[in-house]
């Protein structure tokens, strides 16, 4: 027989336990009113190869997501280990998150962060409310890897801190 389920889980303890699962770091970018807009996620995953679908989670309170979702397409950039500064800027709450963040337009004009390991251009297929977040499912329409194969070290998030692969 299983033990009874606790009445509730402490949110800080839950976050601490989940911090033991290392994740990559991705920037979700787009354009709103002619200006680049973006946010940072570490809750990114592939969903399907056929059709090519990915998913990420965003807080319901995200002002950046409310601006991003007005656009038809978004770009998801996988950050390299040396892109912590860009990541911090995009994770912040500032109005001009792209100040001092170098980027180039994708073929569709979406911001691709210079130095990103790879990027995906996507369109939202569905949004699913889930607790204090929304799960965004997006179809990939275009993708590319960095032209520099030596830049294969990703930026990671582990136990509440930025980190890199051991020994890298």
In this prediction, residue 21 carries a pLDDT of: 94
pLDDT class of 121 with cuts at 50, 70, 90: very high
Residue 151 pLDDT > 70: no
Q: Is residue 67 part of a domain?
A: yes
Instruction: Give CB contacts under 8 A, 24+ apart, made by 44-49.
Output: 44/76, 47/137
- Rounded average pLDDT over 139-155: 85
pLDDT class of 168 with cuts at 50, 70, 90: low
Query: What's the first-to-final CA gap in the chain, in angstroms?
Result: 46
- In which element (H, E) is residue 78 found? strand 74-78
pLDDT tens digits, 74-109: 999 999 999 999 999 999 887 689 988 999 999 999
CATH number for 78: 2.30.110.10
Q: For residue 138, what are the domain limits?
A: 23-158
Mean pLDDT of the chain: 92
- Higher pLDDT: 50 or 150? It is 50
Residue 148 pLDDT > 90: no
Q: Is residue 17 part of a domain?
A: no
- Rounded average pLDDT over 42-51: 97
Q: Is residue 163 part of a domain?
A: no
- Rounded average pLDDT over 139-156: 85
Number of domains in the chain: 1
């Amino acid at each position: 027989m299983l033990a009874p389920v606790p009445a509730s889980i402490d949110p800080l303890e839950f976050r601490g336990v989940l911090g033991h699962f290392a994740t990559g770091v991705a920037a979700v970018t787009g354009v709103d009113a002619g200006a680049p807009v973006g946010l940072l996620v570490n809750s990114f995953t592939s969903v399907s190869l056929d059709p090519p679908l990915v998913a990420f989670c965003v807080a319901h309170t995200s002002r950046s997501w409310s601006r991003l979702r007005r656009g038809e397409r978004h770009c998801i950039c996988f950050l390299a280990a040396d892109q912590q500064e860009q990541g911090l800027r995009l994770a912040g709450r500032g109005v001009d998150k792209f100040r001092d963040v170098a980027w180039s337009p994708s073929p569709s004009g979406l911001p691709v962060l210079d130095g990103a390991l790879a990027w995906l251009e996507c369109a939202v297929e569905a949004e699913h409310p889930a607790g204090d977040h929304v799960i965004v499912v997006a179809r990939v329409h275009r993708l590319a890897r960095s032209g520099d194969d030596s830049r294969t070290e990703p930026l990671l998030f582990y136990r509440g801190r930025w980190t890199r692969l051991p020994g890298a």
